[in-house]
Amino acid sequence: MDKLDEETMARVMKKCYFMRPDLVMPGIMEKNNVLTNVKTMKVRDDDVYLVTYPKAGTNWACEILDAMLNIDNLEVLKTRSLFEKIPILEFGPSIHPDLVEDGIEHLPSNVKAVIDPMPSPRRIPTHLLPEYMPEEWHQKKPKTIVCDRNPKDCLISLLGWHRSTRFLSPLEWNELFEAYMQGLTVYGPYPDFTKAWAKYENEPWLMWIRYEDLRLNPKESFRKVAEFLGKDLTAEQIDQVIHVTSFDYMKKAMETVKDRDIFLNKKGVWQRKGVVGNWKEAFTISQNETFNKHYKEGMKGYEHLMYDC
């Protein structure tokens, strides 16, 4: 495995920082905000938390939950701003010097500006490790859904994010692959994230689902999610949720969303392909073998949560 050269390393880390020595975070979130506003946030009993590794279907899963929680008024989904649609728990304020340099306007803490004022029930997405979750989340144990995805597809989708957003540096595939193998992609290695959340996998208040099941068997998977949320949806209502969260529907709806382009560069798009197995178009044979070895070693002891990839 090649070490990143100095120039590439500088681009990988531009707009990022270390939350701790082995954990890289995007500059769109700020360490002190997590340790204060996030940690002390008031958690409501009917909150629903959506936990995902970056690019594991966060936006889509948010829309699914939003549709289920508002099944009697699906039109409200069309009125949401970008920040209301995807209120990532830990985002803001955007004070990282590299972001300021690139013209990303100052954004407040999502907790204070978006999440606290949200009407109940709130669905709150996050990529945080459990140790950084709100103190009251640990105490109240609100409904929490962990949406898992093939780590190779996550990495390919992250490549698209590096190329589309203004809050991450543009990277080529080989550069991102080497950065991941060296633990330098945002939110850290996939196995570390999965193992940290696996601590709660058998808790009654937590549901562990797979992106692939939602994609390939939506009727059954959506029904299980609805049941977990305490929503007794009819077959017709499940079909409605499937319709308003389809790729084409969401892509068209996003065109009118307020603030939709605030984080995108000129070539950026919110929805890419969302397909299962897209990693096969990018991984070389050597990269696949290297990744599989790294993945197997990283998931040792947690083989039941591994993807056969």
In this predicted structure, the answer to whether residue 148 has a pLDDT above a threshold of 60 is yes
Q: Which of the residues 127, 243, 294, 304 is marked catalytic?
A: 127
Residue count of the chain, please give it.
309
70 residue type, one letter: N
Three-state SS at 55 = coil
- Mean pLDDT, residues 63-92: 91
The domain ranges of the chain are 6-305
Torsion of CA 259, 212, 26, 112, to 10 degrees: 50
Beta strands in 150-232 (DSSP E): 206-210
In this predicted structure, the answer to whether residue 186 has a pLDDT above a threshold of 90 is yes
Distance separating alpha carbons of residues 217 and 212, to the nearest angstrom: 8
Percent of the chain scoring above 90 in pLDDT: 72
pTM exceeding the 0.85 threshold for the entire prediction: yes
Beta bridge partners of 208: 146
Q: Where are the alpha helices (DSSP H) in 14-120?
A: 31-33, 58-69, 82-85, 97-101, 110
Q: How far is CA 54 from CA 70, 162, 284, in A?
A: 25, 12, 22
Kindly report, residue by residue over 29-47, the tens digit of the pLDDT: 999 999 999 999 999 999 9
For the chain, how are helix, strand and coil distributed in percent, rounded to 5?
50, 10, 40
Kindly report, residue by residue over 214-252, the tens digit of the pLDDT: 999 999 999 999 999 999 999 999 999 999 999 888 888
277 versus 10: which is more confidently predicted?
A: 10
H/E element, 288: helix 285-298
48 versus 5: which is more confidently predicted?
A: 48
Class of domain 6-305: alpha beta
Distance separating alpha carbons of residues 122 and 115, to the nearest angstrom: 8
Q: How far is CA 221 from CA 122, 225, 261, 273, in A?
A: 21, 6, 31, 20
Peptide bond into 93 cis (omega under 30): yes
Read off the tokens for 129: 């490790």
In this predicted structure, the answer to whether residue 268 has a pLDDT above a threshold of 50 is no
Residue 294 is a catalytic residue? no
52-56, 101-105, 238-242, 280-284 — which is least confidently predicted?
Answer: 101-105
